Structure formats: structure tokens, C-alpha cells
Amino acid sequence: MQEEFRQRLEKEYRYAVTKMQEVTQLASKLFYFSVFFGEAQRVLNWEWNTDLALIHMVTKQVYTEINTTIQMSGPGQTPPIDWTTVSDKLTQVASDLATHFERAENEGSKEELHRILGHFAEVAYAVSGNGSYLYEKGSFKL
């Protein structure tokens, strides 16, 4: 990836994480989190990068899963989800991804990136029906 694009992602991702850390409402965190797939898509318009396409798809799916679950949860219908933990983990993993881009190009390994994206997938899965059930049972932790 061209250095200017890496720096753009670094700057935008860190700003989004800082704002996510400042707000307490999950809807507000999601607003800032949307920068992750939005910026990935903008950079993809200039330079194709398979890892960036994966970042775009995973972070967009995380946003969609959380947002859909929130929208479907009316009064008295909230699924048994530990929203505080989901919110905290979302912010933590977003920070991990920002840190990945803050490293020099060759220092952020693919293994590290895939580990981070795997944690995003866990957050998204935790708010699904089966995921919240497995989380409640203790089958996995965020």
C-alpha cells in the first residue's frame, strides 16, 4: 500500500478510536466506528489491496450486526447481550487496528491483522442470536 494511503488510514482510524473512547452510548461509538469501513472503501477506490478489502468487509459486517440487533431490540425485547462488554471490546479492537496502521508498513504482520479481524468477528458474532447464547453459556469470551 502506498505510504500516503497508510498514513491516511492511520490518521482517520486513530481519530475515530479517540472519539469512540470519549463517548458512552453504543450508537455514538458505532457512528465513529463507521470510519473503519468508510475509509477502507475510499482508499480502495485509489489502490486495490486485498487486506484492505478484508478490513472493509469485516468492519462493515460488525457495524451491520450490531446496528441490526440494536434496531430489532424494542422495549422489553432486548436480547441477553452484555452491551457494555461489546462496546468496550469494539473500542479495544478498533484501537488495535489503528495501532496496526501506526506501525511502519513492514512491521504490521498479516498474522496480526488476521488476529485483529478475528476479534472483530467475535464481537459481531456475540450480538447474534446464537452468539449471545454461546457467550452467555461461557463458550467464548470477548
Q: Which residue has the cell 461489546?
A: 86
Prediction pTM value = 0.91
Across the chain, which has 142 residues, the per-10-residue mean pLDDT values are 92 98 95 98 96 97 94 68 92 96 74 96 93 90 90
Q: What is the pLDDT of residue 48?
A: 96
Q: CA 14 to CA 8: how far, in whole Å? A: 10
Q: What is the pLDDT of residue 103?
A: 82
What are the two backbone dihedrals, phi and then psi, of residue 23, each rounded to the nearest 5 degrees?
-100, 155
Indicate the SS3 state at residue 48: coil
Q: CA 8 to CA 13: how far, in whole Å? A: 8
Q: What is the pLDDT of residue 110?
A: 87
Burial 9-30 (b: 16+ CB within 10 A, else e): bbebbbebbebbeeeeebeebb
Q: CA 121 to CA 103: how far, in whole Å? A: 23
